[in-house]
Each structure stands twice: as structure tokens, then as C-alpha cells.
Structure 1
Amino acid sequence: MPKRTVFYAPPSQHFERSLDVYSPTSSPGTDHTPPLVIMVVGSGWIGHRAGIYRVFDWWNAAGPATVASVGCTCVCVRHRGAFPRPPPGAIAFALACAAALAGGFPWSVCVLLLYGAWLLAARGAATHEAMMDDVAQALVWVRSHRAELAPPDAKLIIGGYSSGGHVAVSLLQRPDKLAHFGLPPAAGCDGILLLSDVTSARLLAWLLQRVLFGEALPSPLHTVEKSPAVPHLLVHCHHEAFGLPLFEPALSHLLCTPQFAPALRAAGVPVRVEGVPSDHWTILASEPLANALRRTLLEERLKSAQVVRDTIPA
């Protein structure tokens, strides 16, 4: 797969603050100029640390590779991530004392070593605000290198997959933050592409705030009035969690296209919804996703009509 890696926040050479540019691997098969697609990678908000990211590189590359396979240039954006915060030192000390009383001195040493390892792993963890800052900086890089990436008449589509979609759409709902980085409203995009993305986190806000972020987590579904009035393409899976009891409803609460789409329409935002016969983990490399992207981004060019197709299962 033809790609090149760029660090978008110089002089930083931090892998989490880098992006990959995927060149098209096929002809678009249309007279229209293919759009330039920016996709923020998903990670469960944990970020894209090199050691972990590269183990799953085949999966992380699947989405951008699918976009490139239909004839579009895809910029795959990484960002720093959160990490479960360790408990206060007093709690760790109390656990070490309890371990010493229960099993002897070696057990207390083990507890302290594990706590030290946790502190090291959590060092440099990012807030959700910092994640949005990273993506904004990546958009600044794309804006300054637009002529190298696509023809002048190419539309700009911004979005992401899973938690990456959440970070992207949260940023696009923040014109103040975009302006801080010298970006226009909606970052100047012509459309938004969200693949099986997180748009509601209200029920998990408390847990995520306490464990990961130390801040309130945005819920784009509940701030939908701030969404840019550009066409949205929402691609979701018929069964995000294989239709398993408990897991399917829980995941569907986070990946709530059936609720986000009508909320966008009610706010006057053009929406198109595509449902694909896949699950949350295999959608990126699926042929149905490639077909949906080919149909919407190339053949019909993500038109501004209110709804072109709706395939949300009843």
C-alpha cells in the first residue's frame, strides 16, 4: 500500500502525533475528481503509542486502505491518548502495607513495583482536549499541503472511525478551538464521514471522566446543534457486537447512528446513512464498506440532499 508518514507537529517526532498519507490504489472510475479524505484512527481514546499501534498495524491501516482502494487519497491521523489514572500514592502505600501483613515483605514490594510501572505507563497521558488539539494540528498540516495531496477541485471530507470519529466530530463542533489554530468553521471541509463512530457517551461520562480523562467527555449527540451544516455520511454496522445479548445494546448506546442521524436532520444538517452487514471490528476491511464509499464519495459525491438512502434496520 503506497503511503508516507509525516510528523504534523514539528519539531516533535512523537509517533502519536504523526499521520500517514495513503495514495489511491485504483482508478475512481468516474469523471468527477475524487475527494481528499481525512480519517482519524480509532483507539478507544487510549491513543496510538508506537509499540501497541504497530502490533495492530494491519487493522489500523484497513480503513485508510479501503478509502484508497476506491480511488481517494486518504490522510490517516493519529493522536495522543488517555490512560487509566493510577490511584493516589497513599492508596498504593496502604495496599502495600496490607500485602505485607497478608503475605510478607515480597508481596508489598510487588505492589509498589506494579504501582511504579503504572505511573510510568500513565506518564504523558493526554486529555480529550489535547486529542482534539492534535487533530487540529494535523488539519493545519493538511491545509498547508493541500496542493500536494489532491487537485484544487477535490472536495475535503473529514471524519474518523470509532473513538477517532468521536474526537473528529467533537472538534468540528468546536469553532472556537478551530479558530485558535487558524482553521475556518468546520475546518473548511465539504463533508463529514463517520464510520461506526462514537456519538454518545453520556452514560459513560462519569466513568470515563474519573478513570481516563479527568474532564467531562463530549457527547456529540447531545450537542448536535453545534454540528457543521455540511453533508454527513454515517456508516454503521447492522450488528456492531455480533448481535450478542447485552453487548449489542451496550455498544449501540455508544455507536448511536440511529439516534444521531435524525438529530442531525432535525438540526437542518444534510445526512446520508449507510448500513453495512458487518461488525465494529471487521467493517474497515469489508467489501460492503468499499461499495458504500464508492457509491457515496465518487458516484453520487455525498450530495447535499437531506437523505439519499437510509438502511438502518428496524
Structure 2
Amino acid sequence: MKYTVLGAGAMGLRYGVLLQEAGYDVDFVDTWDKQVETIRAQKGVYVSRDGQNKHLVPVNIYYPEEYQGDPDVLIVFTKQYQLTDFLKRCERFFNDKQYVVTCMNGMGHVEKLNQYFPKERLLGGTALIGTVLNKAGDVDFIGPKGAGSMNIANETEEPDQMTHQIVDEFTQAGLNPNLTTNFLGTLMAKVIFNSVINTLCTMFKIRMGEYIQSPVAKKLGVQLIDEAFDVCERAGITLLNTRQEEWETVSYVSRVSNPLHFPSMYQDISKNRQTEVDYINGYIYELGLKHHYEAKTHDFLRNLVHLAEFSGTFDVDGYIQSVLESDKKNVQATQQAEA
């Protein structure tokens, strides 16, 4: 089948490049000028694995307004807060035969996608696959070849022939998909995973493998997982895992699959970009309020991440330098006065 990836960031590039390497026809569409122009100028994207063996992979990339392709499947990997505008710019090449697969972080995207694609042609996925965009046109796949996995489910929870073909082709690409028939439970499992890993690693600027070594890692993680499960139980959402299995997933992925990975939220905040915390911890908190439950730890962490975002707007180095220069001038003035 032919695939078009909407959003050529870290995860979009990983999915698209792996499918292309498996022999499938893949195009990329993006709205970030620097990404599009850099990839075009260097005639491809530089791909590394755990920082090693950087090589150029030729890819086709387009702005939405110029794209003329007719894909069978769209793979959506934008940021939550970018999705509405992205879809509006792309709708000219949508049609009533295309399927869409989304493995975005957080929640809020399904309703937006349903404005263009019916439930029968939408698959929701969750990816436990670490990838870092070092800079425009330069991506690093974290973990050895074949590392990582994903869950995927039809919004209707009734897999059809096209679904099985997508799963088969994702398998050939080494994405290790697991097809489920629990749509919301599948999506929320990753939201809960990210509510632990993304926020805690981001707040303390550590990799997943560093977080899991902490003697308080389990206590913090289990507290967040328990609150999230309490919310889902009240909302009538049956999750894929038990509470214990969810923690074991966090532990295994942190220790074994992606110990060197900085989560995407950390990547965003380190580059002074808006994070998706409102669609992860914030979503859990707001869902809880709808069912008369207050997930206070998730709300507290959401606000801490927003404080970190806000602090990034200050030029700390420049401020310190100005203070030092002011102190130096004051000392010189005092010395001159005493002389």
C-alpha cells in the first residue's frame, strides 16, 4: 500500500522510514518550513541509531498545499495543539477510501480526526518506540533494530481486511504492532504511561533509564498509575493492563527497551516549545472531574510542567551576566570614590 505521513517529526520519520525500508511507497507532509527545506536541500533525512551510524535516507517531503499524492493510508503524528490547523491544510487530498492511523501522544485527537474520517476507517495506536529529532533533517532511532512495540485498535473495535493488511505491513516494517479490540483502553494505556514517564523525566531532565534507577521511581509511578486507574474505572474505561502490569510496562521499557531515551515532552521543553501535558496529565485530571474524582497528583504535575515552560521564557544566562556586569561597575565606582 501507499502511505503518507502527516507530521515528519521524530515519530513520523521513524514510522515512514521503516515502512519505506520494508519496501512500501511513503511520502511525508509537514508544515514546519525548516524541516521541509532542510530535507529537500540535503536530499533526504539523516538517520542514526542510538547516536551511531548516521546515514542519509532519501525521502519525499511536501507542504500540504503542494501535495498531489493519493495514499491508501495516512499516518498522523502531529502535536495535539497543531492538529486542527494541520488537518485543515491537508483536507484537499483526503478522500472517502483512505484509512488513517494515529499514534499521537495524549488525548483529544480522535474527535478532530472524526471530522474528516469516519470511525470505520480510523485506527488508534500507542507507540512504545523511542525516537529523537536532533534537529531539522536529523533523527535518531533509540534502541536496537526491532526495538519497541505498539498497540493498535479500530475505533469501531471491529477489525476489517484493511486493518489486518495494515497490521501485517507494520509487522514487516519492524514496528511490532499488537491488534486489540479495545479502542479507548488501548489509547489510555499510553496516556497513563506518558503521564508517568514524560512528566517526571522532563521535570528532572533525566533519561528513562536514569529515572528507573531512583529508589523512589516506583513509589512516584504507582501513585500516578493508581490515580489514573481510579479515573478510568469511574469513566467506565477498561484498560489493557492491570495496575501492576502498567507499572511493569513502565519499568521494562525504561530499563530494557529505551533506557537512553529522553521522552518527547523533555525534547519539547528543552527547545522552549509548548508541551502536550494538558493532553496527558491534564486530560486524566479533567476526565476525573467529570466523574466526581480529583486526580490531584496529575494536576500538580501538570502545573509544574507549565511552570517549567514559563521559566524557559526567561534569559537566565543573560540575567546572570547583567547582574555580574552591574556588580563589577558598582565595585569600580566604589573604588574610584574611595580613591
Q: Determine which structure has more spread, i.e. the larger CA radius of gyration.
A: 2
Whose helix fraction is larger, Structure 1's or Structure 2's?
2
Instruction: Report if TM-score (shorter chain) is over 0.5.
Output: no
- TM-score normalized by structure 1? 0.30
Choose between structure 1 and 2 for higher RCO, CA contacts under 8 A separated by at least 6 residues. Answer: 1
